Amino acid sequence: MRNGLILGFFDGVHIAHQAVISSAVNYAENPVLITFKDSPAKFFHKKCEYIYPRRKSVEKIKSLGVKEVIEFDFEQIAGMRAEDYLEYLVKVFRPVSISTGFNHTFGKNKGGNPELLEACSKKYGYKYFCVEPQTFEGSVVSSTLIKNYLKEGKIETANTLLGSRFSLEGEVVHGAEIGRTIGFPTANLNYPSEIVRMPYGVYAGLAEGRHAVINWGMKPTVHNTKEPVAEVHIINYEGNLYGKTLEVEILKKIRDERKFNSLEELKAQINKDTEECLKL
């Protein structure tokens, strides 16, 4: 089997990641992506926040033509010398090609890099693909860049660079059900703890195949929450979602979250938000 190895963490599987994956898919019969169960940053006790849950990133990777995704435990290989790690990969997978991004590093003290992979290609008998940086408005496309756009509420730009939609996923939990009393029932989600956080505000999205208005924040008008919550109003949806896992794709930030003087004012604004959402 002609294995093409793809190396990297691939959080979000954005357009630059997709270019790396394509180099292997277009060359090798059996593209295999080698990654980690968790971000290597965790090993170094750094704060980790993801664009997608790992399960979703793996699904997206496979949708691009990768036959197998292998997730190593970073802690078990963190101390390996770079060439020892490379030799291990070659021995186990016998690759005809190896693909990475231009800034990929591996091995103890980040001793492995594109230069080493190129230098060892003849010795180990593989073709090396080093994918050049992809840029957007003068910036190199990266998971960090996309996270910054998400933190700024620039959802449309983030989605462009992802090549798919940013989303939130979680179990629907019970809330105060005030939305139901003003004609806008909501499904409440606890924002996943390891997913990058958008700024508080009202967003247009999609859920259950329908347009949805999402309020993410502290619900200042009703004063009944100590922790932020994502309230999802699925337009013209009838059904019970309690206890079910709901995925909400985020399309655009409509406005900032703000306090209204009454529930009637809030209702009027939600009507406007709904109209804005339906335009997308």
Active site amino acids:
231
Both tokens of 108, joined, read 């103890």
Q: How many CB atoms lie within 10 A of CB 208?
A: 15
What is the spatial distance between Cα 161 and Cα 136, in angstroms, rounded to a whole number? 8
What is the spatial distance between Cα 103 and Cα 11, in angstroms, rounded to a whole number? 15
- CA of 249: how far to CAs of 90, 177, 198, 237, in Å? 39, 22, 13, 16
Instruction: List, in sequence order, every beta strand (DSSP E) within 27-147.
Output: 30-36, 68-72, 95-101, 127-131, 135-136, 139-140
Q: How many CB atoms lie within 10 A of CB 114?
A: 18
User: How big is the CA angle at 72 (ends 91 and 96), to the nearest 5 degrees?
Assistant: 35
Go through the chain and tell me how many residues it has: 280
User: Parallel, antiparallel, or unpaired: how do β-strands 127-131 and 95-101 relate?
Assistant: parallel
